[in-house]
Amino acid sequence: MQSGQIVVNAQGLIQDCNAVLEGLTGQTRDVLIGLPVDSLFSDTSDHLDLYLDHLTLRHHSQLTPSVESFLYSELDHAPVACLVLDSEGQVLFANPRAAHLLGYTAQRLQELSLNDLSVKTTTTIQATNQTEWADFKTQSGEAISVKLDALTYQVSVEDAGNQGQFLFHSLVFLRQASDLPWAVIRACSFNQFSQESDTILTLLKHSQKALTPVRLTAHFVINQPGFFEQITLDISPVPSLIDKNEDLRHQHSLLEMTMEVMQDGVVQLDRTGHVLNANPKAQELLGRSKEHLLGLNLEDLLAKSNDDYQFPNWIPANHVGVLQSLMDHDPENFWLLLRQLPHPILGFDGQKKLRFINQSACHLLGADEEQWLERALHTLVAPQAQVQLERHLKDLAQGNWDTAPTELTWLRDNYTNLHCTSVFQALTFGSQVWTMICLNNSIEELKSRAMRNTQNIEWSVVRSDGDLTPVVLTVAPLRQTNSGTITGVVMTLKDMREIKEKEADHVRMVQKMEQSQRLDALGQLAAGVAHDFNNLLGVVQNHAELVEMKLGPDTKAAKNISAILQATTRARDIVIKLNGLGREARKTEEVVEVFDLAPVIEETKGLLTASLKGIEIAIEDATPLASAVKLQGDSGGLQQVLVNLCVNASHAIGERRDGRIIIYTSRFRDSRVRVAVIDNGSGIPKDTLARIFEPFFTTKEVGKGTGLGLAMVRSIISKMGGTVDCESEVGVGTSFIVTLPIANA
CATH number of the domain enclosing 67 = 3.30.450.20
Backbone φ and ψ of 346, nearest 5°: -120, 150
Q: Is it the case that residue 723 has pLDDT exceeding 50?
A: yes
Of 684, 659, 666, give the one whose Cα is nearest residue 608. Answer: 659
Whole-prediction pTM: 0.47
CA angle 51, 53, 57 (to 5 degrees): 110
As a whole number of angstroms, the distance between CA 116 and CA 48 comes to 26
Do 577 and 601 fall into the same domain?
A: no
Backbone φ and ψ of 479, nearest 5°: -125, 150
Polymer length in residues for the chain: 745
| Long-range Cβ contact pairs of 401-405 (< 8 A, separation 24 or more) | 401/320, 401/321, 401/324, 401/425, 401/426, 402/319, 402/320, 402/321, 402/322, 402/426, 404/319, 405/319, 405/443
Which residue segment(s) compose the domain that 414 sits in? 344-440
Q: Is 461 a domain residue?
A: no
As a whole number of angstroms, the distance between CA 96 and CA 181 comes to 19
Q: Is it the case that residue 3 has pLDDT exceeding 70?
A: yes
Three-class SS string for 422-437? EEEEEEEECCEEEEEE
Q: Is 447 a domain residue?
A: no
As a whole number of angstroms, the distance between CA 563 and CA 540 comes to 12
- Among candidate residues 125, 152, 178, the one where a domain is terminated: 178
CATH number of domain containing 637: 3.30.565.10
Do 549 and 645 fall into the same domain?
A: no
Three-class SS string for 260-274? HHCCCEEEEEECCCE
Q: Is 486 a domain residue?
A: no
Do 71 and 30 fall into the same domain?
A: no
Domain count, the chain: 5
Q: Is it the case that residue 476 has pLDDT exceeding 90?
A: no
Do 38 and 48 fall into the same domain?
A: no
Q: Is 10 a domain residue?
A: yes
User: Which range is least confidently modeled, 100-104, 470-474, 507-511, 677-681?
Assistant: 507-511
The predicted pLDDT at position 735 comes to: 93
Contact 299, 311 (CB under 8 A): yes
Contact 452, 479 (CB under 8 A): no
Given pLDDT bands bounded at 50, 70 and 90, which one contains residue 29?
A: very high
The predicted pLDDT at position 588 comes to: 45
Do 660 and 566 fall into the same domain?
A: no
Given pLDDT bands bounded at 50, 70 and 90, which one contains residue 437?
A: very high
The predicted pLDDT at position 124 comes to: 44
> Which neighbouring-strand residues pair with 406?
422
Whole-number Cα distances in Å, 391 to 350, 394, 402, 550:
16, 5, 12, 109
The predicted pLDDT at position 165 comes to: 56
Do 136 and 72 fall into the same domain?
A: yes
- Among candidate residues 240, 261, 282, the one where a domain is terminated: 261
What are the percentages of helix, strand and coil residues in the chain, rounded to 5?
A: 40, 30, 30
The predicted pLDDT at position 129 comes to: 44
Do 32 and 52 fall into the same domain?
A: no
Backbone φ and ψ of 217, nearest 5°: -125, 135
- The rounded percent of the chain whose pLDDT value lies above 70 is 79
Q: Tens digit of pLDDT for each residue in 291-317?
A: 888 888 888 888 876 555 566 678 888
Do 144 and 8 fall into the same domain?
A: no
Do 132 and 238 fall into the same domain?
A: no
Backbone φ and ψ of 468, nearest 5°: -105, 140
As a whole number of angstroms, the distance between CA 547 and CA 295 comes to 94
Strand, helix or coil for residue 664: strand
Contact 489, 312 (CB under 8 A): no
Q: Is 533 a domain residue?
A: yes
Q: Is 314 a domain residue?
A: no
- The arithmetic mean of pLDDT across residues 24-28, rounded, is 92
The predicted pLDDT at position 161 comes to: 47
Do 119 and 234 fall into the same domain?
A: no
Contact 702, 712 (CB under 8 A): no
- What is the sign of the dihedral through the CA atoms of 140, 142, 147 and 153? positive
Of 53, 7, 1, 48, give the one whose Cα is nearest residue 24. Answer: 1
Strand, helix or coil for residue 387: helix
Q: What is the mean pLDDT of the chain?
A: 80
Number of alpha carbons in the 13 Å side-chain half-sphere of residue 573: 9
- What is the sign of the dihedral through the CA atoms of 320, 322, 327 and 328? positive
Cβ-based neighbours of 25, under 8 Å, separated by 6 or more: 4, 32, 40, 204, 205, 206, 207
Do 109 and 185 fall into the same domain?
A: no
- Among candidate residues 440, 459, 477, the one where a domain is terminated: 440
Whole-number Cα distances in Å, 535 to 24, 147, 530, 532:
112, 108, 9, 5
Which of 1-5, 41-45, 627-631, 735-739 ranks highest by mean pLDDT?
735-739
Backbone φ and ψ of 163, nearest 5°: -60, 125
Q: Tens digit of pLDDT for each residue in 521-566?
A: 666 666 666 667 777 888 888 888 888 888 877 787 888 888 788 7
Given pLDDT bands bounded at 50, 70 and 90, which one contains residue 502?
A: confident
Do 110 and 233 fall into the same domain?
A: no
Concatenated DSSP letters of 549-616: HHH-TTSTTHHHHHHHHHHHHHHHHHHHHHHHHHHHHHT-----EEEEHHHHHHHHHHHHHHHSTT-E
Q: Is 157 a domain residue?
A: yes
Q: Is it the case that residue 158 has pLDDT exceeding 60?
A: no
Contact 659, 614 (CB under 8 A): yes
Q: Is 353 a domain residue?
A: yes
Q: Tens digit of pLDDT for each residue in 584-614?
A: 444 445 557 888 888 888 888 887 876 787 8
The predicted pLDDT at position 679 comes to: 92
